[in-house]
Structure 1
Amino acid sequence: MNIVTSPPADRLLYKPEEAAQVLSVGRSTVYELMAEGALEYVKLGRCRRIRRTALEGFVAALTSQSH
Structure 2
Amino acid sequence: MSTRRTGGRQPPSMQSPSADDQQQVVDATVARVVENIATNLRAMVPEHAIRRLIELEFRAAVRALPLQDSPPPRPDPQPSSAPAADRITYRVTEAAKLLGISTSKVWGLLGEGRLPARKMDGVTLIRRVDLEAFIDTLPAFRGGPQNG
State TM-score, norm by structure 2. 0.40
Q: Are positions 1:11 and 2:83 aligned together?
A: no
State TM-score, norm by structure 1. 0.85
Unaligned runs of 5+ in 1: none
Cα deviation for residue 62 of structure 1 reads 0.5
Aligned length: 63
SS for the counterpart of 1:63 is coil
Largest Rg, 1 or 2:
2
Q: Deviation digits for residues 8-66 of structure 1, max 9, x if unmatched?
A: 000111000000000000000000000100000001021110000000000000036x6
Cα deviation for residue 5 of structure 1 reads 2.3
Unaligned runs of 5+ in 2: 1-79, 143-148
Distance 2:82 2:138 in 1: 22
Q: Percent identity?
A: 37
Distance 1:33 1:62 in 2: 13
- Within a 5 Å distance, the mapping from 1:36-47 to structure 2 comes to 36-47=112-123
Q: Which of residues 134, 138, 143 in structure 2 aligns to 1:62?
A: 138
Structure 1 consecutive aligned stretches of length 4 or more whose deviation exceeds 2 Å: none
Q: Are positions 1:22 and 2:98 aligned together?
A: yes
